[in-house]
A and B are shown apart, each in its own frame.
Chain A
Amino acid sequence: MTAEAPAAGGSRIGALARRFWSLVALPLVSFVLAIIVGAIIILASEMLVPGQKFDPTLPITAYKALIVGAFGNESAVVATLVATTPLLFGGLSVALGFKAGLFNIGAQGQFLIGALASVFVGVIVSTQPPLIAIPLAVLAGIIGGAIWGFIPGILKAVTGAHEVVTTIMLNYVAIGTVAALVSGPLKIPTSVSPVTFDVGNAAFPIIIGKTGHIGIVLALLFVALLWWLLYRTTWGFEIRAVGANSSAARYAGMRPRVITALTMTACGALAGLAGVSVLLGVTHSMSSAFGTTVGFDSISVALLARSDPVAIIFTALLFGAMRSGSGLMQIQASIPAELVDVLQGTILLFLVMGPVLRLIFRLRSASTDIGGARTSIGGAPAGPAGAP
């Protein structure tokens, strides 16, 4: 860095800009490359559909529809914000785990159980005044998600069972639990299809446009809260210390096992809030086909943001916009909405190829390894990594 620093004055802004560029360059290049790969996939898949005229501009039509669908008018922007809200919570959940060296693949299950607990309490308090009903339903969702995070947390702390496997298993248990309750005890008795009662007064108030609920404000508050927790409190320092080097943290007098269990519980609470925001803000009741992609999108959000709470605002917006715009893309260009998953996977793939991309595009190297800390199954923390 020092060799490249310009001698001229006013280099403070220059240094800041360089630092900013060194942080965003790799994600940005990954994103652009993924868009190109996506275009190639669209062109290639045109040949799979027989009897259709080959249209070389289809990728542009598709991407245009994607952007218009996400930001084209006021209601589209609001829809994008609504889609971004659960990703903010979910991204924070996965990122917090990464900071402590834990990989929370279970955001999906915690999301579902959070929503389930929220609808359970929400229906009970649905006739109470909103000021009582909403906090109770939100609290229930937080507790529900926290329990679903506590189970793998305590198992990891006490028995060493790896959270990657246990959280994935709990995702499937959560799907079963939701299906059993929504088609059983929580079902509207007179209804044919498995769906619960409406949460009534516990629903989030609408503050922007026709659908923009207060959840987005809550989510941004939690971004600030998590940033403060991670970088300004002792607990946050301990989380990061355990994530960076668990044995060193123990020698320094911290208790990695306690931190692990607590952090995983907090991860669960955050993912539970994602479920709450969808349930109280959008659907207001729960059917057996409740939200299916949030949990895995959250992993992408956290990875692309390199677990930085502030960067999560942008990555969640990016993926929220893609999800929200994919509907119009499907209609106007007949491209399956799953293209968004392809783009997500490709972005991450290029991101993890970081060292190669830096070499090709001559990007300045910075500490841009994705994931807050190395995670390893059953092994000790990774050995010293060489400078790229």
Chain B
Amino acid sequence: MDAAINAIYAIPVLGLVAQFVGYLIATIPPVAPIILRQSTPLALGAMCGVICERSGVVNIGIEGTMLASAFTGWIVGVAVAPLLPAAATPLFGITLPLLVALAAAILVALAISFLHAWLSIALRADQIISGTIINIAAAGVTGYLNTLIAKQSPTSGGSFTQFNPPAELTNLPGVGWLFAMFFDQGPITMSVIILVIGLQIWLFRSRWGLRARAAGEHPKAAETVGIDVMRLRYRNVMIGGLFAGLAGAYLSMEATNSFQQNMTAGRGFIALAAMIVGRWTPIGAFGAALLFASFQALGQAINFAPPSGQLGDIMTAVPAQFYDALPYIVTIVVLAGVVGRSIAPAADGQPYERESAT
């Protein structure tokens, strides 16, 4: 068997492809949990985008909202950890301070989303500019406060831990890695799949979802059948903020237990790309987020443990920064390839103005 594989690997060009496939097959099982983890902030951000844009509000402030939530989650954790009992439950290492911090992170995201909703719905400001201002302000305020606070090297409030599935399950031959992928995870990552499916049903199988989509496709028609378009858009932007807040909390309270300046690193924008590639559906966007996360994880895998042999020589000859940039390049390529067939909600980004009845 090994001899046969080695023979295939020796074929010029085709052998390289075979080596790459072999590398992928060997790499994916151990990397799979990492892929799901890294897709979490992207998927949650994309859900925020889907909810907002389906009802007609463009939100490019996801990046800033995530950043502000990540900071708030961390700083509130730091502040309340000494004040509250910190006995960790065996499940996910949940402590009271962590729950308070999570609530604070989501509250901040809701507040920022409300601001965006107010600017773009009530004031009919340009939604892209409103989102950009949120990004600039969030980066400024978190950077300013972080520099002030980091001088005192505060003790972190901790982070959520992973659920450890029993080893009998993860060691199962063939499918064990799938169990590890879905269950060797923290609470926010685990909830993503449920949230995505729930949102898909909510958006396409419920009355609320139908109304939300109507407001995004043809707000005037929606208004004539008695839907309050303004209120609905406010509500959807706020629900979207909840998801962005969760994404931010993931970064500073599950993936790490600290905050770094600009730690979102463009994830809010990759999330937007995932939303477009996924054709504004929750499940499609989740798939796209998984794709982008796979390239992130693949890049890291190649940097840490490059394949051996001819393929490895080629891969290690490429600068490490190329693999860091890989997810961004893939985003551009996929977006350019798919976007023509991906159609935005018709009234996306357009301020709605009620015909003056008063």
Contact = CB atoms under 8 A, between A and B. Distances in A.
Given A338-B144, A341-B143, A371-B129, A169 B353 contact: no
Interface stretch (A126-134, A239-247, A262-270, A372-380): A372-380
A184 B321 CA distance: 10
A189 interface: no
A339 B144 contact: yes
Contacts of A380: 346, 350
Contact of B336 (A159, A171, A176, A383): A159
Contact of A48 (B123, B149, B266, B319): B149
Given A342-B140, A385-B351, A377 B128 contact: yes
B266 A173 contact: no
Which label, helix, strand, loop or mixed, suits the secondary structure of the B interface?
Answer: helix
B331 A165 contact: yes
B152 interface: yes
Interface stretch (A195-203, A219-227, A349-357): A349-357
Contacts of B266: 168-169, 171-172
Contact of A342 (B141, B269, B353): B141
A173 B133 contact: no
Interface string B263-280: 001100110110010000
Nearest to B118: A353
B42 to A, nearest CB: 13
Interface stretch (A10-18, A117-125, A296-304, A309-317): A296-304
A344 B276 contact: no
B337 interface: yes
A380 B348 CA distance: 9
Centre residue among B136, B266, B335 by max chain A CB count within 10 A = B136
Which label, helix, strand, loop or mixed, suits the secondary structure of the A interface?
Answer: helix
Interface of A: 41, 45, 48-50, 103, 105, 151, 155, 158-162, 164-166, 168-173, 175-177, 179-180, 183-184, 296, 299-300, 303, 336, 338-346, 348-349, 352-356, 369-371, 374-380, 382-383, 385-386
Given A338-B144, A376-B350, 14 more contacts: A103-B132, A155-B332, A161-B339, A162-B339, A169-B329, A169-B335, A177-B321, A299-B132, A300-B136, A374-B126, A378-B349, A379-B344, A379-B349, A385-B353
Interface of B: 53, 58, 60, 119, 123-130, 132-133, 136-141, 143-145, 147-149, 151-152, 265-266, 269-270, 272-273, 276, 319-322, 324-325, 328-329, 331-332, 335-337, 339-340, 343-351, 353
